[in-house]
A and B are shown apart, each in its own frame.
Chain A
Amino acid sequence: MTPEEAVMTQESDASMPDVAQSGVSGPGVSESGAVVDGMTSPGPRIDVSGAAMGHTRADTQTVFRCDDIHVYYTDFLALRDVSLDIAAHEVTAFIGPSGCGKTTFLRCFNRMNDLIEGARVEGSINYHGVELYQDEVDPVEVRRRVGMVFQKPNPFPKSIYDNIAYGPRLAGAKRSELDDIVERSLTRAALWDEVRDRLKTSAYGLSGGQQQRLCIARAIAVQPDVVLMDEPCSALDPIATGRIEELIAELKTEYTILIVTHNMQQAARISDMTAFFSVQANEMGQRTGELVEYAPTSLIFTNPEDPRTEAYITGRVG
């Protein structure tokens, strides 16, 4: 995938107006009102604990701690200065208009951006105390712990069984364990009852919603710690979407879930924390995404701090 394609595929809906250009907020002014000169100075750290806003999240553990993340595609700055913490066993949603870098940001967490020629991540992502972007870290091992579900269901051209068993086999699971793993994963993804009699048939025979649940089952079959979901429902009808949303709510008891969504109602329904990204064009017309606001979902949808967030969620833009 070329960098251009990567930017293009992040959002299919290019008609969405740009928040930054709507004049809600002047360029270079961060949410706390401090003037940020260019891209070098660190942005204000956004408090995740929520305690300041009367929200108690005392028993949560931090899985990812991101500091000053900048993502470049060759020379193009796609995402600027993101700092936030991700808490364990919560659903964290990334929302924002087209091209705001939310998918780019999501792909930082399992080093998926490594696969894009020219993509470069600067800053620090700390995963349980380990710096993800250092030479000693094996990206393959990262992806085993941080699984991913993609925008379009992408099962392997294999049987349902082999789709689930693929990851565990790579990780060295014994043949005798595979049946159990397949059943457990499919059950967990609420698909077992529908496919138990046709495990050996092609995964392409499933409906779109079933394929996406298969992809979720495939992701959790390797027992990850975190599951990244990149607009997992955008290709699905409302009923299939509802099933995936139920599933996400169940899965968060075991996994930490990061989800990119276009659908604000979906973010409101399923997430505990919401990060709102916006996009700002520089004088050369390059559009760089940035984090505007990160807060508990209940707060961001009822009492957003930043006028840009409010404009977006109330539908005045986007």
Chain B
Amino acid sequence: MTVLTTPAGIATGAADALRKRPGADVAGSAFKWLLIGATVFATGFLAVLLAVMIVDGWDVLSGNLWYFLTHGFSQRSAGEAGVWQGILGSLQVALVTGVFAIPTGVATAIYLVEYAQGNRFARIVELNIRNLAGVPSIVYGLLGLAVFAQTLRGFSGGTTAIAGGMTLAAMVLPIVVITSVEALKAVPDSLREAAYGVGATKWEVLSRQVLPAALSTILTGTVLALARALGEAAPLILVGAATGFMSFGDANVFETFTGPYTALPVLIFNFARQPGADWGVNAAAASVIILVLVLAVNGLAIYLRNRFEKQW
């Protein structure tokens, strides 16, 4: 390359120097293709999984979907088994989880961010909560069995949907706290100062400015946490979700909270371990149903986020 020292030299060399050179940024293009490859692999993997589930479960999904959705579990034959109890149980468990996890988690986050304001205590609590989010779910199952199903038997009624929901609430609580903490931290201080500046009290700043501003993110986080709880099987098996035939008898909806229960993921586990190919069809179909349920919940999260989103 010529050394360009004078303006005239720069001008005469410009046509040559400015021309695109092939192979100038090999590393850059290679990295881009690597990234594209990773993306294709990740999404392709999920697509194959979904396709396999739908193909495997097609007999049930296309033929007697309505029967499958509206009937309970049957030990006798795969054709007579349905997931109705699982859907009902999962919704009950999710409801209990939400009732316990959301208020506690959001309140904890508000305290940590707005009141403890990053003092030593808050930092220690936050660190521990972040660690708790990584604890395997089976450990929460053991906790649920020991605490919610046995110690608190008087309240939960033993191994019931209430105990199961509380167990999952303990499991998703760290997620609810962390997402809410992040949501509150994302509210700019300028908004708080603006409210304080016109003579708002702490409560007024919190209730009228900060919480509304953080609401969409908090909602998204908590709904996603619920979606995770919806798909969880291991802790529920420990806390007594029924894996066999279950009869509600003439119990009403409220009584089913304190009776035997099951949940969709547990049912799938149960279908899958039965011998025979027709049970496998049931497992695949039930998997598709739980996937649809979880996607619906995630869709709700996206809707809520867009609905309440605030910009600054």
Contacts and interface: CB of A to CB of B under 8 A. Distances in A.
A96 interface: no
Nearest to B194: A154
B198 A157 contact: no
Given A117-B117, A157-B312, A150 B193 contact: yes
A117 B119 contact: yes
A120 to B, nearest CB: 15
B198 A219 contact: yes
Interface SS, A side: mixed
Contact of B118 (A2, A149, A155): A2
A156 B118 contact: no
A156 B199 contact: no
Interface in B266-312: 310-312
Contacts of A148: 193, 197
A141 interface: yes
B29 interface: no
A2 B200 CA distance: 21
B199 A171 contact: yes
Interface residues of A, number: 29
B197 A204 contact: no
Interface in A175-208: 204
Interface of B: 117-119, 188-201, 204, 208-209, 213, 310-312
Given A117-B118, A166-B198, A222-B198, 14 more contacts: A140-B201, A143-B198, A143-B199, A144-B198, A147-B198, A154-B193, A154-B194, A154-B312, A156-B194, A170-B198, A204-B312, A219-B197, A221-B198, A222-B199
25 contacts: A112-B193, A115-B193, A115-B196, A140-B200, A143-B196, A143-B197, A150-B190, A150-B194, A154-B194, A155-B194, A156-B194, A157-B191, A157-B213, A157-B311, A166-B200, A166-B208, A167-B198, A167-B199, A167-B200, A170-B200, A204-B312, A219-B197, A221-B198, A222-B198, A222-B199
Interface of A: 1-2, 110, 112, 115, 117, 140-141, 143-144, 147-150, 152, 154-157, 166-167, 170-171, 204, 215, 218-219, 221-222
